[in-house]
Amino acid sequence: MTERERRPASPGGPLLLMRGIQKEFPGVRALDGVSLSVGHGRIHALMGENGAGKSTLMKVLSGVHPAGSYTGEILVDGRPCAFSGVADSERAGIAIIHQELALIPQLSVSENIFLGHERSRFGIVDWGSTHARARELLRRVGLDENPATPVSALSVGARQLVEIAKALAKRVRLLILDEPTSALNEAESARLLELLLDLREQGVTCILISHKLGEVMRVCDEVTILRDGRTIETLEVERDADGTPSVDEDRVIRGMVGRALDQRHPGRSGEIGPVRFEVRDWTVDHPTQLGRRVVDGASLTVRAGEVVGMAGLMGAGRTEFAMSLFGRSYGRHVRGSVLKDGRELDTGDVAAAVRGGIAYVPEDRKTLGLLLDGDIRHNTTMAALGRVSRHGVLDPGLEAVEAARMSERMRVRSHGTTQIVRTLSGGNQQKVVLGKWMFTEPDLLILDEPTRGIDVGAKYEIYLIVRRLAAAGACVLLISSELPEILGMCDRIYTMCEGRITGEVPRAEADQETLMRLMTRTGGHP
C-alpha cells in the first residue's frame, strides 16, 4: 500500500453526527431511527439495498428534505443544524452530487460551476475572473478542458468532474456522492476514485453511496450499512501492506441483504435449443452526423433458451445496435435483416418489433423505460394494452389484476400497484420496466445494462428472472459493461468495437482478458 493510500488520522470528534433520523412518506417509513457518524478527512461508504434509505438520508443531510419534514438530530462539528434547504447545507460546507447530474447542458463549464453564485463586479459578471477560477478548479479535479466549453460537449465522466469542481467552488468540507460511477466506464471510474483519494488528502470528507463493492472497498475508511431504513452496523476498514482490506465483500453483502449470497449469479437450468433469431449484416448510420456509421455489418444469432452476451467499451455501438433492432428506434439508413425461426421479420417500427416478439429494456430506465409520474399498474401494462382491454376498451379491473400479478412475479417492493413509479427505489423501478416487457410475453428480450445502479440483492433477483425466462425457452440478449456479469450470466458472448462484431466466444472459453482483447480489436469478426 502506498503512503498516499494510508488513512489520515481523524482529529477530535466527528465532523458529522446524525442521530435518530426518522423520515416518512405517505404509507412508507423510509428512515427509522438511523444514526451515522463520519470523521474528519474520511471516505465513508454508505451501503444498502435499493430502498434501504441511503439517498433519503443524504437528502435529509443536504437540506433537500428540510428540517421539520423529519425527526432526529444533525450535528456538524458538534453544533446542531437544521437546514431549511440546500443553500443552508452548502453554507455549512456540505454538497451533494446526485446520481442524475444537476448541470445545464446548454451552458458552459464556467457558467455551470458558478451558477447561483456568480463572480461579479459592480453587478456585472466578471468573465475573466470566472474563467480563471474555473480553470483552477478543473485542474484540481484533473480535467483538462476549456471552461468555455458547453457541458453538452463533454462525456459523462467529464460532467461528473465538473459537478465536483462545482462543489469545490463552494468551499465544500463534506462531499456526498450518490452512485458517482454508475454511468462511467472503467477508466473514468478509476480516475474518479483517485480524485476522491486526492480530496481526502486535502482534508475533504466524502460520503460515497455505491453498489460497486470493489470500488468501495478500494477507497473507503468506514462502511455504514443500512437495511429497511435502519442502521445495521458500521465497519472499520483497515488495509495490510498489500492494500487488502480487512472487510471483504461477502461480509458487506451479508449486512446489506441479511443473508449470505453463496453465488452472485444463479446457475442455469433448461436446454438450449435451435437458433430462433438471427441478425444479418446490420448497419446503422448516425441519426444526425452524416457519414458516421455507428453499427457496421453486425451479425449474430440467439438460440431458444440461450442468454447471449454483448460486451464492449463505451461507444462501441452496443446500445445503438439494440435500439435500431427494436423497431429502428435509433439511427438512419438502417440496413440488414432479422430472421425469426428462419423467416424474415418486419422490424420497421416499434409496434412491428413488439408484434414480432421482440422486447427491449433500455439502458436509461427513467427517460426511455418508464412514465415516472404514472403508477406501477399503468407502467406495467402500457406495452400490451390489448391484453387488458375488452372490445378495444381498457378494462381497469383486469388491468389491476394483471399488474398485481406481474408485480408479484417481479417481486416489486411497493405499497400497491397504484404507487407512483417515481417514488420507488432504482432496483424496483428496474423491476417495473422488466415486468412491462415480460407482460408482452416476448420471444427475444434485449436487456441493455439491466443492473446498472442497483444493489447486489436486486441484481440477484433480476438474474433469477432472466434465468427463468431462458429456461422457459425465450431468447435473451444481455448487454453489459460489467464483465463479471457477462461471464456469470451468458452462455455465449459477442464482443463489439467501433460498431463491428469483433469476436464470438463460448462461455467455457471466456475470461476477462480474452474479452478485453476482443473489445479493443478494431477489425471485424475474426
Handedness of CA 266, 270, 271, 277 (dihedral sign): negative
Give the pLDDT score at 243: 74
Question: Do 390 and 352 touch, CB atoms closer than 8 A?
Answer: no
- Do 483 and 518 meet the contact criterion of CB atoms below 8 Å apart? no
Q: Is the pLDDT of residue 11 over 60?
A: no
Strands 71-76 and 120-121: unpaired
Largest Cα–Cα distance of the chain, in whole Å?
75
H helix and E strand count, the chain: 16, 24
The crossing angle, in degrees rounded to 10, of helices 396-410 and 426-438 is 120
Set of cell numbers at residue 471: 429456461
Cite the residue boundaries of each domain of the chain with CATH code 3.40.50.300: 1-93+175-185+200-259, 272-357+442-526
Predicted pLDDT of residue 475: 95
Tell me the average pLDDT across 279-293. 91
- At 354-413, the pLDDT tens digits run 999 999 999 888 888 899 999 999 999 999 999 999 988 999 999 999 999 999 988 888
**CATH code assigned to 1-93+175-185+200-259:** 3.40.50.300
Taking the CA atoms of 466, 470, 475 and 479 in sequence, report the sign of the dihedral they define: positive
Distance CA 277, CA 300 (A): 8
Per-chain mean pLDDT for the chain: 87
Q: H helices within 150-248, ranges in order?
A: 156-168, 186-201, 213-219
Instruction: Summarize pLDDT for 47-90 with one digit per residue, the tens.
Output: 887 678 888 999 999 999 999 999 999 999 999 999 999 989 98
**Residue 294 corresponds to which cell in the numbers above?**
455507428
Residue for cell digits 445495521? Answer: 232
pLDDT exceeds 90 at position 323: yes
**Helix orientation angle between 127-140 and 156-168, rounded to the nearest 10 degrees:** 110
How many Å apart are CA 16 and CA 30, to the nearest integer? 21
Q: What is residue 526's predicted lDDT score, i.e. its pLDDT?
A: 52
The length of the chain is 526
pLDDT above 70: residue 3? no
Query: What is the pTM for the complete model shown?
Result: 0.66
Which residues, in sequence order, are CB contacts of 525 under 8 Å at separation 6+?
299, 500, 501, 502, 503, 504
The CATH fold assigned to 272-357+442-526 is: Rossmann fold (3.40.50)
pLDDT of residue 316: 87
pLDDT higher than threshold 80 for residue 204: yes
Joined together, the cell numbers standing for residue 205 give 470528507
Count of C-beta atoms within a 10 Å radius of residue 315: 14
What pLDDT was estimated at residue 61?
A: 94
Residue identified by cell 463586479 is 121
pLDDT tens across 213-251, in order? 888 888 999 999 998 889 999 999 888 877 778 888 888
Confidence of residue 1 (pLDDT cuts 50, 70, 90): very low
**Closest alpha carbon to 463 in 225, 286, 264:** 264
